[in-house]
Structure 1
Amino acid sequence: MSLRIITSAALALVACIAQANGPAPAISYTRDIQPIFTEKCVACHACYDSACQLNLGSGEGAARGASKIPVYNGERSQASQPTRLFYDAFGKTAWQRQGFGSVLDAQGTQAGLMARMLELGHKTPLAPNAKLPDEIVLGLNRENMCPLPGEFEAYAGAHPKEGMPLAVTGLTDQQYQTLQRWLASGAPIDEQGLAPSAQEALQVQQWENLLNQPGARESLVARWLYEHLFLAHIYFEGGEPGHYFQWVRSRTPSGQPIDLINTRRPNDDPGTQVYYRLWPVQGVIVHKTHITYPFSAAKMARIKSLFYSGDWQAVALPGYGPGRRANPFETFEAIPAKARYQFMLDNAEYFVRTFIRGPVCRGQIATDVIRDNFWTLFQDPDHDLYITDARYRGQATPLLAMPGQNDDVGSVLGLWLAYRDKRNEYEALRRDNYADLPAPGWSSLWEGNDNALLSIFRHFDSASVTKGLIGEVPQTMWLFDYPLLERTYYQLAVNFDVFGNVSHQAQTRLYFDLIRNGAEQNFLRLMPADSRDGFLDDWYQNSGKVKLWLDYEAIDNDRPTGLKLDAQDPKRDFANQLLARYGHLNASPDPINRCISAYCSRPGIDPQLRDAEQTLSRLTSRPAAGLKVIEQLPEATLLRIQTRSGKREVYSLLRNRAHSNVAFMLGEAYRYQPGLDTLTIYPGVLSSYPNFIFNVPAEDVPEFVEDMELARDAKRFERIVERWGIRRSHPQFWEYFHDLSQYLHETTPVEEGVLDMNRYENL
């Protein structure tokens, strides 16, 4: 027995020595390369805001390469060619015809562009956790040079510290060597597309059967559903973790390979017979584009009940074209309006996320027309005149058309004025007809599920949506009815073209300003009549009063509300009553920002975290004039607190910037009121784009908060950063950064995705 053991051990040792001295095993893209890209590259190289359009979330993106043509260009007079990965072209050659150049291929005796960029970054490491040199420009102000292989030497000479990964703790030696070996071997890609499991394949077939039923009524419903779910990352009940699917239009029916119809918009003319198909979402899941939607047997039963029951009929199918895009209320008027609205309400968080959070990845065209924090509510379908009154619906529908279909630059002003006047005519119609109804009360608000109450936070050019009412009572609230929710969705999601020209983008921005005003007017009807003008004066200060007079329809300031509210502060009283009445729907109780008596922490949590939350509450609900450190903080900071026992919690520290009004396309800085900025602190990751991370042991929280209270200038704040900050150069930067995604995995696994660090600041 002993001899056999010794012999076996000797043979194993010989085998190990032979393996060590033999040729290195072949590198697999799937096994060895994509994990490195996912850990060190995808945080900057994903979606449309990926530098030089280099998307490293998949082998297809790596092979596609880079382009000098920017996706975001608010000044172009002509729309650019769409370059959506896995959509507008497939394969290296096809992408090269669209202007992309390889970053993998060697150029004669020179290594490929990626190899040289990685070499530049590897030989110029950053000083550990030190602030970066000022000459390295980061964030949205960075001008990406996107050098071609022949331009690399000039780039490296001008930017010797800007190799890859850019301005962040780089690759380990092993990762660097693995990538360089792979590149030197010709960068082979063995990636296999994600395939559904057997159970998922069965559910795919069931859903495709539903949306591809014959008949005019069935086809019209399928088209409406597709246009409302084309952005969704759909996951199945009982499906594989990490498997998501999206709806596409195909020339081929179920059971055959998908032949994609890749129109610019989901409601453009397909030019052929359409089959609605589900295909797996490919590549690494990134949080900023990951807008999830559940499919289950219950969901299918709900859709059948809403759309396929009753005796309504579609006489003929509508066509396509600018008019149909402009007014989906006419296009789909045969479908019962209540079914359409109820479907959107069932998953209201999803729909609000599609136009608030993404997935265009740089949303300032929308976000600069909203305030930094507000709550949204929804009108109950049984109290929505568009649902309940056919006469009113017939009058309103022609007035609900939206601009942006004609992108002639010279016609912007005329188009805008025409659509503004039509919208204001609708607002007058709505005001006068609702005046004949009983005064609105609590029954006017929808309370069907936990999607009924949403909180929105703007982080300059991005925003987040969360179930529940988070933060201090905000300056404004929005109340969506069906015409408003549908128009917002179509204007900012279905009809918006991120590749569009300046005319299209300007019309979108201007009309969203009217949408915001409409949501505010809806909410004001809940306030006492004699308080409404005062609220408008607060929301539209200074230049905003010009906008009130110039572009908005007058509000109803005569008819009373049906609510009994404190005359001194009706909005706060409304919020308090809302929280009390709909506590069962409030998915996000928030004692940190809204302390009840002396209790400012969540019940039932670790005692150290409870004490930490109680202490953190000292930083909330205080304007920057009294808490000067707010002026030093970026929009979205993540605070990681760890107890002695190893438990950790992640909190979002959100800076809410104040403005005299948000009614104009330009000049936001002139309307900024920094002394009124506030800080919201809430457990969870409430932004796809962390601007900074603090890592604070739980026992240090009192000192951290005290230092924040005393940090009245940049020098004092820098001492906080030095002690607890995780700078881009921190040796463990990636460990802390990806722990945010791990936190999502532990708390809301369906929402997990790689976060974006393009906006991570150099504090």
Structure 2
Amino acid sequence: MKKTFLTVFGLLVLSGCAYFGAAHYDKLFGVEYTQQRVVTANTQLGTEFLQHVKPVLDSRCVVCHGCYDAPCQLKLSSVEGIDRGLSKERVYNGTRLLAQQPSRLLFDAINTQQWREKGFTPVLNERAQTAQANLAGSVLYNSLVLKQSSPLPQQAVLGNEFDFSLDRAQSCTNMDEFGQFAQNNPHSGMPYGLPGISNQEFQHLAKWLQQGGYLAHIAPPSKVELAQVVRWEQFLNQGSLKHQLAARYIYEHWYLAHIYFPEQGAKPSFFKLVRSKTPPGEAIKLISTRRPYEDPNVERVYYRLMHDRSTILAKTHLPLALDDAKLSRLHMQFIDADYTVSKLPSYQVEVASNPFKAFAAIPVNSRYQFMLDEAELIIMGFIKGPVCRGQIALNVINDHFWVAFVKPEMAATPKVGEMLLQHDDALALPAAEESNALPISSWVKYAKRQNKYLAAKVELANKLFVNGQHLTTDLLWQGEGVNDNAALTVFRHFDSATVVKGFVGQQPKTAWVLDYALFERIHYLLVAGFDVYGNVGHQLLTRLYMDFLRLEGESNYLALLPEHKRKKIKAQWYRKSPPSLTRFFEGEREFSQPSGIDFKTAHPQAELYAMMKDVLKEVLSTRYDHQTVPEPLQAINRLPAKAVNLLPQVSFLLVKQADQGHSAYTVIHHNAHYNISSLLNEEGQRAYDEDTVTIVPGFIGDYPEAIWYLHNQQQLTEFVKQLPLMVSESDYRALKSEFAIRRTHPQFWQYSDLLHQVAKQYRGVEFGLFDYNRLENR
């Protein structure tokens, strides 16, 4: 203990001296220049990093510094991110008038020097490589020391000097500024607003930094995996125009996925599908464009599987298994299908951003079946992709709704395909405006186009369903009896969201029924066509257009309900709607045919939900069935609204079992709204008395806001007893004092490790580290 204390004390003194000389670093340690830090894994320095340093960075740092929304763009989840450092530019900026240059690791710069030229500053020392300079000149080291010298206050709830809002001001301090920053902000040591790391963890990092901060990549894929990569790259890069068009379509839908080969077992390697200038067998040279469909400016695009060497984060993890069955399925859908490709589509934006034009040669049925096969993954793209961050991006959806799909026999008929071809201009998406858009004039233009398409769609439907042919639940895709992607549930958690398989939770306020054209447009609006670096106009236009698509999905669902009930139900969903939306409703062409369902009660929505579950029962995932939660926890599903109002959006609950194992549950707070059509006044549309809550087994959500830990059955009983009695913030804080692991808990990191250990057991290949940026301070 004495040796540990003296080591830390000596480092603190060293750091303190460095602060006094901050303005003279060039004199003390020479000018900055980028270093070559990457070493092979089998060297002593590489082994040291992978065995002792990376585990600390992952479990203590990456949980806040992992992705687009990492503070100061500091991504400690990869070798490239650590070496790149930090930036004062914010990725999520809803007010910028002009699109900013992208800053995606691996894509927008090929080495650290290029990142310096783009304004990124180092967190590792880039001056003289001596032991003293490596510590004194490291922002990362000094941030850790600052926490050691000014530990977290010994209080349950931290004071106003701590700002945990997602849009808080960020200093993004370089070493020349650090001395003054530390003096003004002694509470800002790392990990920010959480307990400091242990002395042992500190020493691992200090030793690593002192030696020069050398980095090493994780182990390469196995020979079995590499053989699969060769096989899949061969399929994706065949020379015929048919193969090339199919590969382009597949890529534009799978580029966010974490691809793996399930034969590898519990610890597979993950790959990203990328566009490369080089063919299989050569080193990948990435094609960097803002969007996956933009002009690659090469004669031939090659689709390659690139090993993803970064730490897996829950919030960006979209696992996709590739095996023999999947390859055969793709052959059937895209290669064996009867169609001819005489010319590849242009990369001009008006074509490339419109999948109905770009991929018109591929049969609608092939495209739609491909999307349905991995429907959760496709929907997950807009939930976990770059668009997912932020309340304004997500207030376009309800807090809880179910998603079903029109079966291909109805959504991909020749008449539907003909209609899509005739109206492909009306199906154009706001991405055609690229990343700098004028939202109001563009909105008017796309509103007219949407109305034109809806009129044609309704006209066709009214013609098809006549002479006793009416819509019933036979409309729904039933997953061919085996595919559990047929039923999905989406949860919105204010400024994040989750999609899972199954109809999860109590019957929701609304539901979507997606047909091919709607499903495709959602993907190209919110995933392929969305630019997180775009200007305010682009972001607002995307949000506004999504209103149209949500309404269309809801209208497809409404068409199954009694005709005389549809307007009343819709009016209930959109109480207190703004005049602009009311006018849109009035101009909307509606499906006028009666439902073919014989409803028996005065509550047709409840009947329809029950019917949907019954029709899809063969493929309905029960993984998150809220009715399987045992008593007394089951009672949480029936909490009164006043108690629900006090709960955060997502809470994780661990219950210790008699065998020392743990059961895990997620408590999800659903915010009720009069309507979700007000862009900037969500608070004014809140219907607090209608808030509900759902508790499910396992983990739903990637951003825990509260962590509850119940040591035994007695605590569990008392916790459930006190929950419904809450009526004030003080009641909630009292409950947390008794049962929660707050961010200030002295053993927070031990419980964090336990949480991830249990989550790994529950999620398996879907596991990724949780993000603590939304962990509440209450």
TM-score normalized by the length of structure 2: 0.89
Residue 711 of structure 1, aligned match among 726, 748, 753: 726
Inter-partner Cα distance in structure 2 for 1:705 and 1:623: 13
Inter-partner Cα distance in structure 1 for 2:380 and 2:645: 28
Indicate the residue corresponding to 1:17 in structure 2: none
Residue type at the aligned position of 1:451:
N
Residue 441 of structure 1, aligned match among 472, 475, 484: 472
Is the 8 Å Cα contact of residues 49 and 361 (structure 1) preserved in structure 2? Answer: no
CA gap of 1:358–1:483, structure 2 versus 1, over 3 A, is same
Inter-partner Cα distance in structure 2 for 1:139 and 1:737: 21
1:516 aligns to 2:550 (yes or no): yes
Inter-partner Cα distance in structure 2 for 1:495 and 1:730: 43
Deviations, residues 185-211 of structure 1 (Å, cap 9, x unaligned): 22222x135522111111111111111
Inter-partner Cα distance in structure 2 for 1:475 and 1:361: 22
Residue type at the aligned position of 1:424:
N
The Cα of 1:717 is off from its aligned counterpart by 1.7
Residue 232 of structure 2, aligned match among 203, 207, 211: 207
Indicate the residue corresponding to 2:22 in structure 1: none
The Cα of 1:748 is off from its aligned counterpart by 2.7
The Cα of 1:647 is off from its aligned counterpart by 2.7
Residue 585 of structure 1, aligned match among 619, 633, 650: 619
SS of the residue aligned with 1:693?
strand
Residue 467 of structure 1, aligned match among 501, 525, 531: 501
Is the 8 Å Cα contact of residues 139 and 761 (structure 1) preserved in structure 2? Answer: no
Indicate the residue corresponding to 1:137 in structure 2: 163
Residue 193 of structure 2, aligned match among 161, 167, 170: 167
Is the 8 Å Cα contact of residues 369 and 663 (structure 1) preserved in structure 2? Answer: yes
Inter-partner Cα distance in structure 2 for 1:356 and 1:544: 26
The Cα of 1:181 is off from its aligned counterpart by 2.3
**Unmatched tracts of structure 1, length 5 or more:** 1-24, 593-599, 603-612
Inter-partner Cα distance in structure 2 for 1:166 and 1:450: 41
1:412 aligns to 2:439 (yes or no): yes
Residue 372 of structure 1, aligned match among 396, 399, 412: 399
* More deviation, 712-721/204-213: 712-721
Inter-partner Cα distance in structure 2 for 1:327 and 1:721: 50
Residue 269 of structure 2, aligned match among 237, 243, 261: 243
Residue 676 of structure 1, aligned match among 676, 687, 690: 690
Indicate the residue corresponding to 2:124 in structure 1: 104
1:724 aligns to 2:739 (yes or no): yes
Residue type at the aligned position of 1:616:
L
Is the 8 Å Cα contact of residues 194 and 281 (structure 1) preserved in structure 2? Answer: no
The Cα of 1:575 is off from its aligned counterpart by 1.1
Inter-partner Cα distance in structure 1 for 2:197 and 2:545: 46
Residue type at the aligned position of 2:206:
Q
The Cα of 1:623 is off from its aligned counterpart by 4.8
Inter-partner Cα distance in structure 1 for 2:436 and 2:263: 50
Is the 8 Å Cα contact of residues 656 and 677 (structure 1) preserved in structure 2? Answer: yes
Residue type at the aligned position of 2:675:
N
SS of the residue aligned with 2:722?
helix
Indicate the residue corresponding to 2:88 in structure 1: 68
The Cα of 1:364 is off from its aligned counterpart by 3.5
SS of the residue aligned with 1:397?
coil
1:657 aligns to 2:677 (yes or no): no
CA gap of 1:141–1:276, structure 2 versus 1, over 3 A, is closer
CA gap of 1:586–1:390, structure 2 versus 1, over 3 A, is closer
1:344 aligns to 2:371 (yes or no): yes
Listed as ranges, the matches of 1:167-246 within 5 Å are 167-189=193-215, 191-192=216-217, 194-239=219-264, 241-246=267-272
Is the 8 Å Cα contact of residues 339 and 362 (structure 2) preserved in structure 1? Answer: yes
* More deviation, 556-565/502-511: 556-565
The Cα of 1:387 is off from its aligned counterpart by 5.5
**Unmatched tracts of structure 2, length 5 or more:** 1-43
The Cα of 1:567 is off from its aligned counterpart by 4.2
Indicate the residue corresponding to 2:25 in structure 1: none
CA gap of 1:315–1:683, structure 2 versus 1, over 3 A, is same
Inter-partner Cα distance in structure 2 for 1:178 and 1:394: 62
SS of the residue aligned with 2:166?
helix
CA gap of 1:118–1:361, structure 2 versus 1, over 3 A, is farther
1:488 aligns to 2:522 (yes or no): yes
Inter-partner Cα distance in structure 2 for 1:618 and 1:680: 10
1:267 aligns to 2:293 (yes or no): yes
Indicate the residue corresponding to 2:661 in structure 1: 647
Residue type at the aligned position of 2:64:
C
Q: CA RMSD in A?
A: 1.9
Is the 8 Å Cα contact of residues 655 and 680 (structure 1) preserved in structure 2? Answer: yes
CA gap of 1:360–1:735, structure 2 versus 1, over 3 A, is farther
Inter-partner Cα distance in structure 2 for 1:328 and 1:337: 11
Indicate the residue corresponding to 1:630 in structure 2: 644
SS of the residue aligned with 1:139?
coil
CA gap of 1:274–1:106, structure 2 versus 1, over 3 A, is closer
CA gap of 1:76–1:386, structure 2 versus 1, over 3 A, is farther
Is the 8 Å Cα contact of residues 635 and 656 (structure 1) preserved in structure 2? Answer: yes
CA gap of 1:391–1:406, structure 2 versus 1, over 3 A, is closer
Inter-partner Cα distance in structure 1 for 2:437 and 2:330: 44
Residue type at the aligned position of 1:461:
D
The Cα of 1:410 is off from its aligned counterpart by 7.1
The Cα of 1:166 is off from its aligned counterpart by 0.6
1:39 aligns to 2:59 (yes or no): yes
The Cα of 1:578 is off from its aligned counterpart by 2.0
Listed as ranges, the matches of 1:310-389 within 5 Å are 310-360=337-387, 362-384=389-411, 389=416
Is the 8 Å Cα contact of residues 365 and 408 (structure 2) preserved in structure 1? Answer: yes
Residue correspondences, number: 718
CA gap of 1:93–1:615, structure 2 versus 1, over 3 A, is same
Indicate the residue corresponding to 1:5 in structure 2: none
Residue type at the aligned position of 1:315:
S
* More deviation, 545-554/522-531: 545-554
Residue type at the aligned position of 1:40:
R
Indicate the residue corresponding to 1:20 in structure 2: none
Indicate the residue corresponding to 2:325 in structure 1: 298
Indicate the residue corresponding to 2:32 in structure 1: none
Inter-partner Cα distance in structure 2 for 1:207 and 1:552: 50
SS of the residue aligned with 1:405?
helix
Deviations, residues 189-240 of structure 1 (Å, cap 9, x unaligned): 2x13552211111111111111111111111111111111111100113125
Residue type at the aligned position of 1:97:
E
Inter-partner Cα distance in structure 2 for 1:87 and 1:407: 19
Residue 755 of structure 2, aligned match among 720, 735, 740: 740
1:700 aligns to 2:721 (yes or no): no
1:615 aligns to 2:632 (yes or no): yes
Residue 548 of structure 1, aligned match among 582, 586, 590: 582
SS of the residue aligned with 1:514?
helix
Residue type at the aligned position of 1:310:
A
Is the 8 Å Cα contact of residues 233 and 305 (structure 2) preserved in structure 1? Answer: yes
CA gap of 1:552–1:187, structure 2 versus 1, over 3 A, is farther
The Cα of 1:409 is off from its aligned counterpart by 5.8
Residue type at the aligned position of 1:633:
L
TM-score normalized by the length of structure 1: 0.91
SS of the residue aligned with 1:435?
helix
CA gap of 1:471–1:311, structure 2 versus 1, over 3 A, is closer
The Cα of 1:86 is off from its aligned counterpart by 2.3
CA gap of 1:750–1:129, structure 2 versus 1, over 3 A, is farther
Is the 8 Å Cα contact of residues 424 and 552 (structure 1) preserved in structure 2? Answer: no
Inter-partner Cα distance in structure 2 for 1:427 and 1:535: 20
Deviations, residues 380-421 of structure 1 (Å, cap 9, x unaligned): 011115665443233333321111332586743222111111
SS of the residue aligned with 2:500?
strand
1:277 aligns to 2:304 (yes or no): yes
CA gap of 1:469–1:725, structure 2 versus 1, over 3 A, is same
Inter-partner Cα distance in structure 2 for 1:46 and 1:332: 35
1:751 aligns to 2:766 (yes or no): yes
CA gap of 1:278–1:420, structure 2 versus 1, over 3 A, is same
1:538 aligns to 2:553 (yes or no): no
Is the 8 Å Cα contact of residues 47 and 361 (structure 1) preserved in structure 2? Answer: no
Residue type at the aligned position of 1:36:
V
